[in-house]
């Protein structure tokens, strides 16, 4: 009898799920994708769209959804819901929409602040289809050179340089040419890449089915029998690559796309997926799509409104010296789990055990420091290229990162172990039109929030001379290192901005200036943790978007 009840219940659930997913007319269709329209190059006209200031009279009536934060997660969910016929309002605390993925212009130079390059956009790829559907075909991409990344290990005469090529077969073949004694190790790693890419949707499915069902499959071992991805996701990257080869340079290649976590604390699946992401090419966005719905900036949300039944029903927004309330039956937060749970929820809700349990599953991510440099001269004159550069002082990422983050505040600037260089003005073919005769470069490295904490109570652009001198110690070291690759840029530097974890805190509201929000460590990608960490929250009608891992660095205008 009970078996019959269970089978009937599962049948009803399956039928309901099928109807919900496929039984209704989809807002997505081939017909909605149209040829890209002419791009608006007039910055004032662009600003009218991306810099609409908040006021209550601009808030649409009878909202269905409020989205907090206009980063890529917030804009994606907002655009999707708008296509599905929902009335959506996006609220952004900064003075420009886009979150980590916008560009900013200063002194005639335009810098990307997060989306340095993106993969998986070849024709008919799932990601390309998603972008085309969400933007109705209005977002265009420029494919970068096949040689999209260079990895440099060591300094001076001990320097070794390796190149990474895109291509379905070329990527693996090109690495084997550079490591002829480790072809078997490369072949095994690429098999892991293939498994990770083809079976990651199994991990995602843990979030789509009822949580009790996910935990049942994992705890009984049934999930592990279905696919090796459930074990691989919780496998330490360092431990696995040590079984493949003793070549430490190749170890770096397998983990060079750093995101604040050393290989010994990262999942082999995540590291493999990051490399696989560019296997079919690297791309750079040419321009933005016109948003549907309403996005209002200069709208810092100070609290999610929660009624006595524990249900979210709107938000409180700071306007000048006053708070104003905006109501909707659903609230979606794109500002990270720590900000959402620790800052936006009422105190009596924050202290609840189920909220604290979710927070306990996460750690704060590392902060970042970026140097934005502008040069007079074309990229041809300066010797700049579209290829990204990843520089490491030695080939032991685990040790160098551990030693660096153990340093005190005064020692850190002179001992930076790694950095990333990108040149957005070379990647975008329209940069020559918008900013003729100018070139720009962004340099990134990871830093500790504690090194900048003494200035946390100061105001942006008014942090004082000591703060400026301290961040410039980092900037000068990074810029000098970049000049060893591009020597012509030194004499052509006319503008430089430096962003620290405090910049992230001011412009993104990111706690401790964490560049990638919560840390993407090994524990987080254990299959059970994946099953438990969902978009729904203990507060009914309050949801959170995915915690980022798409290389969003920060956002800012005048960075201090």
Over the stretch 3-57, which tens digit does the pLDDT of each residue have?
666 567 677 767 776 666 666 677 777 878 888 888 777 778 877 878 889 999 9
Regarding predicted confidence, which is higher, 12 or 221? 221
Regarding predicted confidence, which is higher, 238 or 513? 238
With bands split at pLDDT 50, 70 and 90, how would you rate the model's confidence at 87? very high
Token readout for 230 is 């459930």
SS3 state of residue 132: helix
Residue 465 has pLDDT above 90, yes or no: yes
Query: Mean pLDDT, the chain, as a whole number?
Result: 89
Residue 390 has pLDDT above 50, yes or no: yes
Which residue carries 């008919």 as its tokens? 124
Contacts of 272 (CB under 8 A, 6+ apart): 189, 192, 193, 196, 197, 254
Q: How many CA atoms lie within 13 A of 221 on its CB side?
A: 0
Regarding predicted confidence, which is higher, 138 or 276? 276
**What is the model's pLDDT at position 522?**
93
Question: Is 358 in contact with 529 (CB distance < 8 Å)?
Answer: no
Residue 388 has pLDDT above 80, yes or no: yes
**What is the model's pLDDT at position 299?**
94
Regarding predicted confidence, which is higher, 548 or 427? 427
SS3 state of residue 533: coil
Residue 292 has pLDDT above 50, yes or no: no
Domain ranges in the chain are 166-278+519-531
Q: What is the mean pLDDT of residues 276-302?
A: 80
Contacts of 257 (CB under 8 A, 6+ apart): 271, 274, 275, 390
* DSSP codes joined into one string, 89-102: EEE-SSSSTTGGG-
- Nearest Cα neighbor of 339 from 498, 507, 457, 115 is 507
Over the stretch 167-196, which tens digit does the pLDDT of each residue have?
999 999 999 999 999 999 999 999 999 999
Torsion angles phi and psi, residue 429, rounded to 5? -65, -20
**What is the model's pLDDT at position 6?**
59
Over the stretch 357-382, which tens digit does the pLDDT of each residue have?
999 999 999 999 999 999 999 999 99
CA distances from 452 to 46, 100, 248, 512 (A): 35, 21, 33, 10
Give the number of other CB atoms < 10 A from CB of residue 170: 12
**What is the model's pLDDT at position 257?**
94
167 Rama class: left (phi>0) / alpha (psi -120 to 50) / beta: left
**What is the model's pLDDT at position 222?**
93
Question: Is 367 in contact with 422 (CB distance < 8 Å)?
Answer: no
CA distances from 354 to 334, 360, 440, 539 (A): 20, 10, 47, 10
**What is the model's pLDDT at position 552?**
35
Query: CA-CA distance, 467 to 366, in Å (whole number)?
Result: 19
Q: What is the mean pLDDT of residues 446-452?
A: 96
Regarding predicted confidence, which is higher, 258 or 375? 375
Over the stretch 525-557, which tens digit does the pLDDT of each residue have?
999 999 999 899 999 999 998 655 443 333 333
């Amino acid at each position: 009898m009970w078996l019959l009840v269970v089978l009937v219940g599962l049948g009803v659930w399956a039928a309901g799920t099928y109807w919900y997913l496929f039984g209704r007319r989809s807002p997505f269709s081939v017909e909605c994708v149209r040829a890209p329209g002419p791009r608006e190059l007039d910055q004032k006209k662009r600003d009218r769209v991306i810099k609409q200031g908040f006021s209550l009279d601009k808030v649409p009536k009878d909202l269905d959804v409020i989205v907090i934060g206009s980063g890529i997660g917030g804009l994606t969910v907002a655009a999707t819901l708008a296509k599905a016929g929902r009335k959506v309002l996006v609220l952004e605390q900064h003075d420009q929409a886009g979150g980590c993925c916008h560009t900013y212009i200063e002194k005639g130079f335009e810098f990307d602040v997060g989306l340095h390059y993106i993969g998986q956009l070849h024709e008919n790829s799932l990601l390309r289809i998603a972008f085309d559907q969400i933007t109705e075909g209005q977002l265009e991409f420029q494919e970068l050179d096949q040689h999209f990344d260079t990895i440099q290990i060591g300094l001076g005469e001990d320097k070794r340089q390796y190149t990474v090529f895109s291509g379905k077969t070329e990527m693996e073949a090109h690495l084997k040419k550079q490591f002829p004694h480790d072809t078997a190790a490369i072949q095994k790693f690429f098999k892991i890449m293939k498994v990770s890419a083809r079976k990651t949707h199994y991990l995602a499915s843990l979030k789509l089915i009822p949580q009790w069902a996910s935990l049942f499959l994992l705890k009984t071992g049934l999930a592990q029998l279905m696919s090796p991805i459930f074990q691989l996701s919780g496998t330490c990257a360092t431990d696995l690559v040590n079984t493949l080869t003793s070549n430490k340079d190749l170890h770096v290649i397998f983990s060079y796309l750093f995101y604040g976590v050393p290989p010994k604390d990262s999942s082999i699946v995540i590291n493999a997926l990051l490399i696989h992401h560019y296997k079919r090419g690297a791309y750079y966005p040419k321009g933005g799509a016109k948003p549907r719905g309403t996005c209002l900036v200069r709208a810092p949300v100070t609290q999610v409104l929660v009624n006595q039944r524990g249900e979210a029903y709107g938000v409180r927004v700071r306007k000048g010296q006053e708070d104003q309330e905006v109501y909707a039956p659903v609230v979606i937060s794109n500002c990270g789990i720590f900000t959402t749970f620790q800052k936006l929820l009422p105190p009596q809700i924050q202290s609840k055990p189920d909220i604290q349990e979710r927070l306990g599953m996460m750690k704060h991510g590392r902060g970042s420091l970026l140097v934005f440099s502008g040069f007079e001269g074309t990229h041809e004159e300066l010797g700049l290229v579209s290829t990204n550069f990843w520089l490491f002082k030695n080939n032991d990422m685990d040790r160098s990162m551990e030693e660096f983050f153990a340093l005190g505040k005064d020692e850190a600037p002179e001992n930076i172990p790694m950095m990333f260089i990108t040149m957005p003005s070379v990647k975008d073919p329209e940069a020559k039109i918008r900013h003729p005769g100018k070139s720009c470069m962004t340099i990134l490295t990871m830093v500790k929030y504690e090194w900048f904490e003494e200035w946390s109570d100061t105001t942006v652009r008014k942090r004082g001379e000591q703060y400026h001198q301290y961040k410039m110690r980092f900037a000068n070291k990074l810029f000098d290192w970049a000049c060893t690759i591009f020597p012509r840029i030194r004499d052509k530097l006319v503008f430089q901005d430096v962003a620290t974890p405090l910049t992230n805190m001011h412009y993104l509201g990111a706690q401790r200036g964490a560049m990638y929000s919560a840390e993407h460590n090994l524990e987080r990608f254990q299959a059970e943790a994946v099953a438990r960490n969902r978009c729904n929250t203990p507060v009914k009608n309050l949801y959170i978007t995915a915690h980022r891992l798409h290389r969003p660095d920060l956002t800012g205008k005048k960075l201090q």
